[in-house]
Amino acid sequence: MDERLKKIIDESNSIVFFGGAGVSTESNIPDFRSEKGLYQAQQEYGRSPEEMLSHTFFIRHMKTFYDYYKKNLIYPDAEPNKAHRALAKLEAEGKLKAIVTQNIDGLHQKAGSKNVYELHGSVLRNYCMKCHEFHSLEEIMDPAKSDEEGVPRCKKCGGIVKPDVVLYEEGLDEDCINGAVEAIAHADTLVIGGTSLVVYPAAGLIRYFRGKNLVLINKSVTPYDSHADLVINDAIGKVMDLDE
């Protein structure tokens, strides 16, 4: 682990971690907003990822939505990386109080983290729009449980199943936002990693931090670098590697 970061963590009692797509890219989950992801979407579908992942598009073009969603947002074989494991260990030690994530892959929980606020939901949770029956990711991916257009259907009532993922045009879950704000407001150290801090409203959560140490770990610069006590421009798994 980076020595400067280790010193701050050792002196902190209430750490909150706020993370974005860069935390999961080291688990081989690509950022769909990247140049490559944008190019791939335009080439195959003639549309931007943002358009295809909007509520309007989901309602109007479910077949195309699910085709894109299953190919580009589901990575069932992905495993937690060094950053996920380091954060789970810090939580187990009582140092880390919460994780606030923009990711939808469930890798923090897979690594062992318990108190995770998933701002944008999770691909692991799916619900029938008609009767609200829960469906697992395995059921969503099973062609036998979808109609002829590839749209998952409810095992109970036959209704359309929607991922518990916050699409563009949809609001964030109020309880999740309130929990994240509460955690950040009471932290003495806020570590932000793998996010460019340009996606709102999630990026706005940083303004609730009143603690002592603001740490930014990202490969590229962010709008908040000048406000941070420590800025590290590197891969977050490398920076947080507990074996280094």
Residue 193 Rama label (left phi>0; alpha psi -120 to 50; beta): beta
Give the integer Cα–Cα distance in Å for 217 and 48: 28
The pLDDT tens digits for 1-14 are 888 899 999 999 99
Average pLDDT of 167-191?
A: 96
Estimate the crossing angle of helix 35-45 against helix 62-72, to 10 degrees. 140
**42-51, 102-111, 191-200: which has the minimum mean pLDDT?**
191-200
Strand-pair category, 121-128 with 134-135? antiparallel
Strand-pair category, 121-128 with 161-165? antiparallel
Write the DSSP assignment of 56-107 as a string of letters: HHHHH-HHHHHHHHHHHT--TT----HHHHHHHHHHHTT-EEEEEE---S-H
Q: Which residues contact residue 51 at a Cβ distance below 8 angstroms, ignoring those fewer than 6 apart?
A: 57, 168
Give the integer Cα–Cα distance in Å for 21 and 153: 29
Contact between 133 and 110 under an 8 Å Cβ cutoff? The reply is: no
Nearest residue to 54 via CA among 166, 152, 168: 168
According to the model, what pLDDT value does residue 11 have? 95
pLDDT confidence of 43, banded at 50, 70, 90? confident
Amino acid at 127: Y
Give the integer Cα–Cα distance in Å for 241 and 86: 7
144's tokens: 């036998």
Task: Classify domain 124-165 at the CATH topology level.
Answer: SIR2/SIRT2 'Small Domain' (3.30.1600)
Do you find a cis peptide bond into 201, omega within 30 degrees of 0? Answer: yes
The pLDDT tens digits for 59-83 are 999 999 999 999 889 998 999 999 9
Give the integer Cα–Cα distance in Å for 165 and 228: 31
Candidate list 84, 108, 120, 135, residue with the active-site label = 120
Q: What is the pTM of this model?
A: 0.92
Query: Top-level CATH class of 1-27+80-120+171-244?
Result: alpha beta
Boundaries of every domain in the chain: 1-27+80-120+171-244, 30-74, 124-165
DSSP single-letter state for residue 34: S
Nearest residue to 9 via CA among 82, 85, 97, 108: 97
The pLDDT tens digits for 215-243 are 999 988 888 889 999 999 998 988 988 76
- Angle, CA 16 vertex, CA 90 and CA 212 arms, to 5°: 110
Percentage of the residues of the chain whose pLDDT score is greater than 70: 95
Fold match, 1-27+80-120+171-244 / 124-165:
no
Q: Is 120 a catalytic residue?
A: yes
Place of tokens 């002829």: 148
Amino acid at 141: M
According to the model, what pLDDT value does residue 38 have? 65
